[in-house]
Amino acid sequence: MSNKLFALVLMALMCSGGCASVRTLDAAQVGAPVIYSGTRLDWYALQGGCYPIERFGAQPPKYAALDLPFSVLLDTLLLPWAVAVELGVSLGVQGGY
């Protein structure tokens, strides 16, 4: 029963607040941090940062403390891509057919 409850809470958090990593990478603001961007946005919000839009191009999730571990995980998985973007390396990835 606890696994079902955990999955339900996790799904509710993702639907209501959204993940900071997804928000920052979707914003694609020039000059915004790319490496660990969601983690940095969550931490910025927890420290009382005033201007997340200007700095990250996105609003932090409503529950930044709960989102922080998930953002760390996703940012870690996306770290090779983020480093490549930061270095200006084109990976040649394209979507669609």
Task: Indicate whether 66 pLDDT > 60.
Answer: yes
**Residue 23, both tokens:** 């928000």
Tokens of 65: 């403390």
Residue 5's pLDDT is what? Answer: 64
State mean pLDDT over 24-46: 83
Q: What integer best gives the mean pLDDT of the chain?
A: 78
Q: Which residue has the higher pLDDT, 59 or 94?
A: 59
Residue 50 is predicted with a pLDDT of 84
96 vs 19 pLDDT, higher one: 19
Report the C-alpha gap between 26 and 86 in whole angstroms.
16
